[in-house]
C-alpha cells in the first residue's frame, strides 16, 4: 500500500495539524486526510484515535479549520483523524451535478450500483484508513478508537459504530441524518448508490440498525440545534432515532440546543463536550 505523502503541517496547541495525500485502492483515486497530533507522549505510549466524519459538500478540511477541536484534543492527548467525504477526480458523469449527491456526498456506504462502484466510503473509513494509519504512524493506537461526525457524517458515525461496535469505543454526532430511508437526502442517495431494495437501505440507517444492536454500553451522544433548518425540513429525524433507542433500551443522550443551527458555530460550541465524552470511553477501555 502506498505510503501517504505529507502536504501541509501547522503547529497548534502544542501539536500539529498535518494533511496527507495517498492513493486509495478502495476508491480508485487519490485521497486526502488530516491528522491532528497532540504534543508527543513519552515512549512507548500511543495516542488513541478519534475519527471525524464531515457532512454534505465538505472535505477533510472543514472540521480542522473551523471546529477548534484541537485545543481539547491536545489536553486530552487524543489524535483527530478527518478523512474526505467522497472519492474525487473520477469524472463519473453527473458526479458534480448536485451538492447533496456524488462528489462531497459519499454517505459513508458501499455503493452497489455499477455507475457508482467507486463510492465505497464505508470500506475506506472502516478498513483502509485504519490500516494506512497503523502501518505509517507508529504513534497512533488504532485499536483504541472512537468516531463522531456532523449531518451526513453524523449518519456515517452512527451507522459505522452500530455495525462495528467491536472496533469503536464510543460514538457521537452533531445534527445527524438519523433515519435516511425516510428523508429526501437519504432517499436520493440510497436510490442512486444502492438501488431500489429497502432492505439494502436499512443497512445504512441508524434508526433501523439500533434495533439490532445489543453491544452498546457507552451512551451515544447527539447534539441537535433547535433552530436547524434541516431539522424543520424533516431531513434529520432525531426523534425517530430516540424512539428506536427507547424501544431496545439503548443508551442515548439527545441534547436539543435552543437557538443553535446546523453550522460550525454550533459544532465549535459543543465539540469539547464530545471529545471529553470520547476521551472517557477511551480511557475506560484501557483500564
What CATH number is attached to the domain comprising 133?
A: 3.40.50.1820
Q: Which of the residues 151, 172, 175, 279 is marked catalytic? A: 151
Structural domain including 186 reads 5-286
Q: What is the mean pLDDT of residues 193-220?
A: 94
Catalytic position from the list 228, 277, 278, 279:
228
Looking at residue 18, its pLDDT comes to 98
Q: Which residues pair with 252 in a beta bridge?
A: 220
Our answer to whether residue 233 is catalytic in this structure is: no
Strand residue runs (E) in the chain: 5-12, 15-24, 29-37, 47-53, 78-83, 140-150, 171-174, 220-225, 252-257
> Catalytic site residue 34?
no
Q: Please report which confidence band the pLDDT of residue 214 belongs to, taking 50, 70 and 90 as the band edges.
A: confident
Number of domains in the chain: 1
Confidence of residue 149 (pLDDT cuts 50, 70, 90): very high
Grid cell digits, residue 221: 451522544
| 151 belongs to the catalytic site | yes
Q: Is residue 190 a contact partner of residue 119, using CB atoms and an 8 Å limit?
A: no
C-alpha cell at 191: 436510490
> What is this structure's pTM?
0.97
Given the residues 22, 155, 262, 274, select the one marked as catalytic. 262
pLDDT band at 285 (very low <50, low <70, confident <90, very high): low
What confidence category does residue 286 fall into, taking pLDDT thresholds of 50, 70 and 90? low
Amino acid at each position: 500500500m502506498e505510503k501517504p505523502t505529507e502536504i501541509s503541517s501547522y503547529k497548534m496547541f502544542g501539536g500539529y495539524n498535518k494533511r496527507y495525500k495517498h492513493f486509495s485502492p478502495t476508491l480508485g483515486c487519490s485521497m486526502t486526510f488530516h491528522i491532528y497530533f497532540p504534543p508527543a507522549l513519552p515512549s512507548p505510549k500511543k495516542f488513541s484515535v478519534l475519527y471525524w466524519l464531515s457532512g454534505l459538500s465538505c472535505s477533510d478540511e472543514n472540521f480542522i479549520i473551523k471546529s477548534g477541536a484541537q485545543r481539547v484534543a491536545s489536553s486530552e492527548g487524543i489524535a483527530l483523524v478527518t478523512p474526505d467525504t467522497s472519492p474525487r477526480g473520477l469524472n463519473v458523469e453527473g458526479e458534480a451535478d448536485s451538492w447533496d449527491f456524488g462528489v462531497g456526498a459519499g454517505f459513508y456506504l458501499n455503493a452497489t450500483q455499477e455507475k457508482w462502484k467507486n463510492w465505497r466510503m464505508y470500506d475506506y473509513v472502516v478498513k483502509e484508513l485504519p490500516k494506512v494509519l497503523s502501518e505509517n504512524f507508529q504513534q497512533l493506537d488504532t485499536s483504541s478508537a472512537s468516531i463522531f461526525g456532523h449531518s451526513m457524517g453524523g449518519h456515517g458515525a452512527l451507522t459505522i459504530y452500530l455495525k462495528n461496535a467491536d472496533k469503536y469505543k464510543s460514538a457521537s454526532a452533531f445534527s445527524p441524518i438519523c433515519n435516511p430511508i425516510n428523508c429526501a437526502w437519504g432517499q436520493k442517495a440510497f436510490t442512486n448508490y444502492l438501488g431500489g431494495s429497502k432492505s439494502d437501505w436499512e443497512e445504512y440507517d441508524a434508526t433501523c440498525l439500533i434495533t439490532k444492536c445489543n453491544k452498546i454500553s457507552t451512551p451515544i451522544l447527539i447534539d441537535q440545534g433547535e433552530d436547524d433548518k434541516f431539522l424543520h425540513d424533516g431531513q434529520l429525524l432525531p426523534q425517530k432515532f430516540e424512539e428506536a433507542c427507547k424501544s431496545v433500551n439503548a443508551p442515548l443522550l439527545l441534547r436539543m440546543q435552543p437557538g443553535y443551527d446546523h453550522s460550525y458555530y454550533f459544532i465549535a460550541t459543543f465539540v469539547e463536550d464530545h471529545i471529553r465524552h470520547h476521551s472517557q470511553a477511551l480511557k475506560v477501555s484501557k483500564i
